[in-house]
Structure 1
Amino acid sequence: MAFPILLLCLVSTIVFFASILWRKQNKTLLPPGPIALPIIGHLHLLSPTPHQDFHKLSIRYGPIIHLFLGSVPCVVASTAEAAKEFLKTHETSFSNRPAKTVAVEALTYGFQDFLFAPYGPYWKFLKKLCMSELLGGHMLDMFLPVRMQETRRFIKRVLHKAGEAVDFGGEFMTLSNNIVSRMSVSQTSSENEDEDEEMRKLVADTAELVGKFNISDFIWKNKETGGTRRFKDMLDVLLDIFEDENSEMKLDKDNIKAFIMDILVAGTDTSAVTMEWGMAELINNPRVLEKARHEIDSVIGKSRIVEESDIVNLPYLQAIVKETLRIHPAGPLIFRESSRSDVVCGYNIPAKTRLFINVWAIGRDPIHWESPLEFRPERFIENGPSQSQLDVRGQHYHLIPFGSGTRVCPGTSLALQVVHVNLAVMIQCFQWKVYGNGTVDMEEKSGITLPRAHPIVCVPSPRLNPFPSM
């Protein structure tokens, strides 16, 4: 009897130590990270600005770190090289959005939208529709007169308030929302100041959007009343697909409502926030502001107002927008989720792991950017072709403010057109007086699009005299 017992003990001991060794080896395959607390994991390490917290952790633990947000496993990538591995080399494993949440379900009519839809036939169909029709070159060209009209309305509003203290964050929000609303449903929601203020609140707090903005009634009323518009807006295209029995993918009313909500909220907020950060940097860097004005005056003159077709001839303005997006990316974090287990950079990433690409940290990486915290648009002009040819459309992984890969933002072209021309208008047409020491703070607030903690309030005055007719 002694031998079987001894054998059993020996086998048990071998199994015990083998299991410990197996767990230890598999643990080392995970990216490094701090020790997690029971139940909450690493939630205690995060503030309302998680991109900043992730950046600090990456300095200590490396470019790829492993965290638990509660019980949910997460991986954070904080360098261009790591981002490229996840978004290009292993893209098929990381094309899904994170798991469904209560907030997203409420905002998207039960996950019927495009931004948070899982990677699959429905998402692919909407992506193709965005690139070919809804946000494609033809649609953008068709709505050029609309953007020009809204830019002129924006100028008139600012002129009307000359000499008064103006919240330019709110003005930029109104401008971008009017453009997106007219492209989406052929009318705006800011015909008077009360409606204007309400829409600002709706966009700033999307949780209130579902309750206060009855998109369903608005959409179908628009279709029934018809009109004399010369071309189709985005809603018309979606409704045509809804009514087409032979459509490649059948859309229902919730799909359409959720998609329009995506466009209204995401399209409004990203452009407005970027213009506000750009204005803040120009106020705090008067040398850059004067150089930009000199370029615009030299190319455009003072007898007419800058237009979209002029942007190609304004390289310093383009550099200002790139530099703004580098330091203040429209989306500080890219969210994905692994659909299957994969090995990335030698680390084992299990299925259902949430991935965060820290775009904010990548844009401030001293390995790729000299003096990364300095606002210096010249870096995109003076450092040779390697820098001057950089774009923000996802091909250069140390500058990906709109994401990269399959789920790159389909509204990038529209956002760039709106930001470039209207920031140029502000530079060309107005002087801005800021109270106090003449600068604005650069504190960030929590949000998916990196909003400012405090609005820019300054007094505009016309710079052109006489002011060009509009």
Structure 2
Amino acid sequence: MATAIDTHFNLFLFFIWLLSTLLVRFLIKKHQKPNTRTVQHPPSPPALPIIGHLHLLSSVLPKCFQTLASRYGPLMKISVGSSTSLVVSNAAVALEVLKTHDLNFSYRPEFGAEDYSIYPNSNFFGADYGAYWRFIKRICMTQLLSAPQLNRFADIRTEEIMKLLEVVLKRSEGNEACDMSAALMSTTNNVICRMTMSTSFSGSSDDSKKIKKFTDDIVKAAAKLSLGEVWGPLKKFDLFGYGRQMKAAMLEYDELVERILIEHEENRHGGVKGRKDMMDILLEISEDDTAEVKLTRSNIKALLLDIFIAGTETTGVALQWTLAEIINHPDIFNKLREEINAVVGCQRLIEESDVPNLHYLHAVVKESLRLHPPSPMILRKNKEDCKVSGYDVLANSRTMVNAYAVMRDPDSWEEPSEFKPERFLASAREKHGLVFVAFGSGRRACPGATLGLTLMHVIIGSLVQCFDWKAKGGVKVNMEEGPAVSAAMAHPLLNRTVSDHVRPLTQEATPESKFLHFSASASVRLGFEPNSTLLLGGRV
């Protein structure tokens, strides 16, 4: 009997405990905020198993994403294999990412190339927003790429631009073809190399060419490794050898830069005087025990590699597009030359000091960068969850702002696909917020924008001032975009000159060659004798 009573009592206690537990949980839930929130992801095109949206993409990603955005919206989710990214395609959403949530999106996503870098955790452009990144950014803005430092190397930029003009003039007089794409890229590469390591380079073309080759190889391998993200965990096996190719190119680069670093150290400590280039400045900072961050040799090499890649490739590509647009628009070419005639005159070549007064030249360059941004995809990663355009963006999401599409957004620009520099003149310019993002925006905006624009203004101004440029028989230059990361032209800007077509500015020509034609009129324009060596403000 007692056992039965105990059993019933225990059951009663259990029942009371169960009711109490359920009551407490009910009361807790009742007084808590209702958790009805569900994650609202951005829209996404229909995907296939395993490959995701790979079947919808083309080799020219910015243009492809622009087309997809017209159907699925300015913020969409794209999956390729195991890799997922958010793509921003209009000005309003770009404003949210790059300005409203600037701090949150000040981080960079990692790609497959990071696994094969010989400078781990030393990269600047790909580094997360933190103490190291802020330290390097401050060095760039206050020392390496500051206005006083850039002014110290104005003569080097002048020398390299003169070499470019002489090459074009000699090819014209010699009736030879000239690959302007290669010539412009060589000019920007030489400028960057000499400003970075002038003591050792001293105009040496051999080291400069080696640097260009190594950086080209690194960029190509890195781009292929980034595409390898579609393989997920398999990317670690480097099935196609792109990782090995990248590491081999970086080791060659490292050996060359190490030699130059040693030469710089010997010259500095040996009492050799001269202006400080970027390498000198970085070596001084690395020896400063009071510096906020202790720079290592790997840090210096990695930063210089970033500068070589970003400074040479982007500026060279932008120059090619600008020259092509000018050739395709003779009225703009004539208007630009008229401005140069009025401001600079015909007795000397354009100088950097003339640029602030050449407003139409500024507008031409800016319009070219709007249509053909040299870095068309701005990569970001957010640290915390946030809302963008009404959608949930979870922490550590890879976000790509399609600058190509943003600066062709019909809601921000009239006739967005047309080349119209006048839209950037003060008399017609409107405030568009953040729609012009050719150099990025916010904390991670390109620190080398001033140098890039300086080169573009003077080089384009010089080529317009000195030479007539005409496309074959009135046919326009092919403006097809290539598949490269920097959205370079698909077809080289190849020029061919014919001696019969070298004429004064007032004389018309009717080229018969299938190549792009120009006539060298520098000697005629500036009152020099044929074959004379041109110098700024005079001749030899």
Smaller-chain TM-score range? 0.7 to 0.9
Partner of 1:170: 182
Partner of 2:493: 456
Residue number among 85, 94, 101 corresponding to 1:83 in the alignment: 94
Partner of 1:115: 125
Tell me the CA shift for residue 82 of structure 1.
0.5
The answer as to whether partners of 2:107 and 2:383 remain within 8 angstroms in 1 is: yes
Tell me the CA shift for residue 381 of structure 1.
2.4
Say if 1:230 and 1:118 are closer, same or farther in 2 by CA, change over 3 A: same
Partner of 1:16: none
Residue number among 258, 275, 286 corresponding to 2:330 in the alignment: 286
Say if 1:350 and 1:154 are closer, same or farther in 2 by CA, change over 3 A: same
Say if 1:415 and 1:232 are closer, same or farther in 2 by CA, change over 3 A: same
Alignment of 1:264 onto 2:308: yes
Partner of 1:15: none
For residues 213-251 of structure 1, the C-alpha deviation after alignment (integer angstroms, 9 at most, x for no partner) is 332233223322448452211111111111222211011
Secondary structure of the structure 1 residue equivalent to 2:123? coil
Say if 1:308 and 1:290 are closer, same or farther in 2 by CA, change over 3 A: same
Say if 1:297 and 1:161 are closer, same or farther in 2 by CA, change over 3 A: same
User: Which TM-score applies when normalising by structure 2?
Assistant: 0.77
The answer as to whether partners of 1:64 and 1:77 remain within 8 angstroms in 2 is: yes
Residue number among 116, 120, 140 corresponding to 1:106 in the alignment: 116
Amino acid in the other structure paired with 2:193:
S
Residue number among 382, 394, 401 corresponding to 1:350 in the alignment: 394
2:312 & 2:56 partners in 1: Cα distance?
A: 31
Partner of 2:54: 43
Tell me the CA shift for residue 37 of structure 1.
2.4
2:118 & 2:421 partners in 1: Cα distance?
A: 38
Amino acid in the other structure paired with 1:454:
H
Alignment of 1:297 onto 2:353: no
Tell me the CA shift for residue 286 of structure 1.
1.2
Residue number among 249, 259, 263 corresponding to 1:217 in the alignment: 259
2:465 & 2:415 partners in 1: Cα distance?
A: 28
Say if 1:325 and 1:385 are closer, same or farther in 2 by CA, change over 3 A: closer
Partner of 1:74: 85
Residue number among 161, 166, 170 corresponding to 2:171 in the alignment: 161
Partner of 1:26: 38
2:202 & 2:48 partners in 1: Cα distance?
A: 47
Partner of 1:426: 463
The answer as to whether partners of 2:407 and 2:436 remain within 8 angstroms in 1 is: yes
Say if 1:60 and 1:399 are closer, same or farther in 2 by CA, change over 3 A: same
The answer as to whether partners of 1:280 and 1:456 remain within 8 angstroms in 2 is: yes
Amino acid in the other structure paired with 1:287:
D
Partner of 1:142: 152
Amino acid in the other structure paired with 2:80:
L
Secondary structure of the structure 2 residue equivalent to 1:410? coil
Tell me the CA shift for residue 50 of structure 1.
1.1
1:305 & 1:145 partners in 2: Cα distance?
A: 14
Say if 1:372 and 1:270 are closer, same or farther in 2 by CA, change over 3 A: same
Amino acid in the other structure paired with 2:178:
V
Say if 1:423 and 1:242 are closer, same or farther in 2 by CA, change over 3 A: same
Partner of 1:414: 451
Secondary structure of the structure 2 residue equivalent to 1:379? helix
2:202 & 2:179 partners in 1: Cα distance?
A: 19
For residues 368-396 of structure 1, the C-alpha deviation after alignment (integer angstroms, 9 at most, x for no partner) is 11111111112222763426xx7xxxxx4
Partner of 2:66: 55
For residues 37-63 of structure 1, the C-alpha deviation after alignment (integer angstroms, 9 at most, x for no partner) is 222222222222111111111100111
Superposition pairs of residues 267-416 of structure 1, within 5 angstroms: 267-381=311-425, 384-386=428-430, 396-416=433-453
Say if 1:23 and 1:190 are closer, same or farther in 2 by CA, change over 3 A: farther
The answer as to whether partners of 1:181 and 1:189 remain within 8 angstroms in 2 is: no
Q: Which of these two proteins has the greater Rg computed from alpha carbons?
A: 2
Amino acid in the other structure paired with 2:424:
F
2:336 & 2:58 partners in 1: Cα distance?
A: 36
Say if 1:195 and 1:433 are closer, same or farther in 2 by CA, change over 3 A: farther
The answer as to whether partners of 2:124 and 2:303 remain within 8 angstroms in 1 is: yes
Say if 1:316 and 1:108 are closer, same or farther in 2 by CA, change over 3 A: farther
Say if 1:104 and 1:452 are closer, same or farther in 2 by CA, change over 3 A: farther
1:196 & 1:183 partners in 2: Cα distance?
A: 11
1:256 & 1:216 partners in 2: Cα distance?
A: 10
For residues 49-88 of structure 1, the C-alpha deviation after alignment (integer angstroms, 9 at most, x for no partner) is 1111111111001111122232333211111111110111
Say if 1:146 and 1:131 are closer, same or farther in 2 by CA, change over 3 A: same
Secondary structure of the structure 2 residue equivalent to 1:93? coil
User: Which TM-score applies when normalising by structure 1?
Assistant: 0.87
Say if 1:367 and 1:341 are closer, same or farther in 2 by CA, change over 3 A: same
2:162 & 2:291 partners in 1: Cα distance?
A: 39
Tell me the CA shift for residue 420 of structure 1.
0.5
2:384 & 2:438 partners in 1: Cα distance?
A: 26
Tell me the CA shift for residue 137 of structure 1.
1.4
Partner of 2:240: none
For residues 385-424 of structure 1, the C-alpha deviation after alignment (integer angstroms, 9 at most, x for no partner) is 426xx7xxxxx41111000011000000000000001010
Contiguous gaps of at least 5 residues in structure 2 = 1-33, 222-245, 498-517, 529-533
How much is the aligned-residue C-alpha RMSD, in angstroms? 2.5
The answer as to whether partners of 1:68 and 1:74 remain within 8 angstroms in 2 is: yes
1:384 & 1:355 partners in 2: Cα distance?
A: 33
The answer as to whether partners of 2:371 and 2:407 remain within 8 angstroms in 1 is: yes
The answer as to whether partners of 2:54 and 2:80 remain within 8 angstroms in 1 is: yes
Amino acid in the other structure paired with 1:405:
G
1:73 & 1:40 partners in 2: Cα distance?
A: 11
The answer as to whether partners of 2:317 and 2:489 remain within 8 angstroms in 1 is: yes
Partner of 1:447: 484
Tell me the CA shift for residue 438 of structure 1.
4.2
Tell me the CA shift for residue 296 of structure 1.
0.8
Say if 1:106 and 1:297 are closer, same or farther in 2 by CA, change over 3 A: farther
Say if 1:376 and 1:455 are closer, same or farther in 2 by CA, change over 3 A: same
Secondary structure of the structure 2 residue equivalent to 1:83? helix
Q: How many residues are matched? A: 441
Secondary structure of the structure 2 residue equivalent to 1:431? strand
Amino acid in the other structure paired with 1:153:
K
Amino acid in the other structure paired with 1:95:
S
1:108 & 1:383 partners in 2: Cα distance?
A: 51
1:147 & 1:257 partners in 2: Cα distance?
A: 23
